[in-house]
Amino acid sequence: MAMAKHSLLVGFGGFLPDRVVTNAELATKLDTSDEWIRTRTGITCRHIAGPDDTAASMGAAAARKALDYAGLTAADIDAVLVATATPDQAFPATAVRVQAALGMTSGFGFDIAAACSGFIFALATADSFIRSGQARNVLVIGSEVYSRIVDWSDRGTCVLFGDGAGAVVLSASEQDDGIGILSTHLHSDGTLGDLLYVDGAVGQPEKSGHLKMSGRDVFRHAVAKLSSSVDEALASHGLTDADVDWLVPHQANIRIIEGVAKKLALSADRVVVTVDRHANTSAASIPLALDEAVRDGRIRKGELVLMEALGGGLTWGSALVRL
């Protein structure tokens, strides 16, 4: 296989479960209110998975839309990478379940666990496969069912999250025209792992299995680390804040999003925001936001898009893409 120069984003897709849960509904079960949630997070509602929705089924639904957008079929795909912190099973990987759902019997698939940064990590991995010539077309999916790991009696965390899946198709290009993924920048610091984690897994059945978060500390690290990641991405190409057309951030909290946008001196109409309607869908949030903004015509061909995320680990990173 010839050495490919870089990866193009050629397909976009998203899936959200039918059930919408408003802040007002949560306020009937928790000591909270619509105003409390909105003023602190920007969230008004979230989609919650139904009994038949799984990380794999939602991921496959988003993937089908991305393939359709790209004008490709599952037979064209060499690899499926699924970023998820909420896999349906310990194994096999959610990615191979998606492969099966799409009718793929060739290529390979695996999951990437980097919490809310998962999509950026998966995008970087897929880009590396394409740059090395190991793959020509890769499906990158973020799919999350956080409603099954949050403690619904903990008003500090359960109001923050929602379910959903987003997908993109990356394709190899030999054209040296400055279009596609320019670079990705990944980081993690395990000494901060106890700020945001899930209490247990298959190997620790005596644990609660619920998400735990030190909200104030995570917020503090998020603004600082995301800002430095943004600076790193731009500096690596000799670009400035003024060169960025769109910020497509991880949708965790409107105040974090606004903090990074302010640092970039980007006006609100250049920032894609879905947290108000989707809440935090973890690894699915960036591809869901990207899909929405591409399909409604906001993001156009040739524009420079900066994506960034921070999640449990702590993990964080950025990606610079010219669509």
Q: Report how far residue 18's alpha carbon sits from residue 322's, in angstroms, rounded to the nearest whole number.
A: 32
> Which superfamily is assigned to 6-173 in CATH?
Thiolase/Chalcone synthase (3.40.47.10)
Which residues make up the CATH 3.40.47.10 domain(s) of the chain?
Answer: 6-173, 180-322
Report the top-level CATH class of 180-322. alpha beta
Confidence of residue 1 (pLDDT cuts 50, 70, 90): very low
Residues 264, 244: Cα–Cα separation, whole Å: 8
Over residues 162-173, the mean pLDDT reads 98
| pLDDT interval class at 201 (50, 70, 90) | confident
The structure tokens 């960036």 sit at 286
The two tokens of residue 33 are: 């209110």
- pLDDT at residue 146 in the model: 98
Reduced to 3 DSSP states, what percent helix, strand and coil does the chain have, rounded to the nearest 5? 40, 25, 35
Residue 61: Cβ within 10 Å count = 22
**Is a pLDDT exceeding 90 seen at residue 264?**
no
What digits encode the pLDDT tens for the residues 279-322?
999 999 999 999 999 999 999 999 999 999 999 999 999 999 99
Q: What's the CA gap between 290 and 29, in Å, rounded?
A: 33
CB 118 within 8 A of CB 94: no
Of 190, 207, 167, residue with least CA distance to 83? 167
Catalytic residues: 116, 250, 280
Q: For residue range 89-129, what is the model confidence (pLDDT) as tens digits?
A: 999 999 999 999 999 999 999 999 999 999 999 999 999 99
What does the mean pLDDT of the chain come to?
96
Question: Residues 68-87: pLDDT tens digits?
Answer: 999 999 999 999 999 999 99
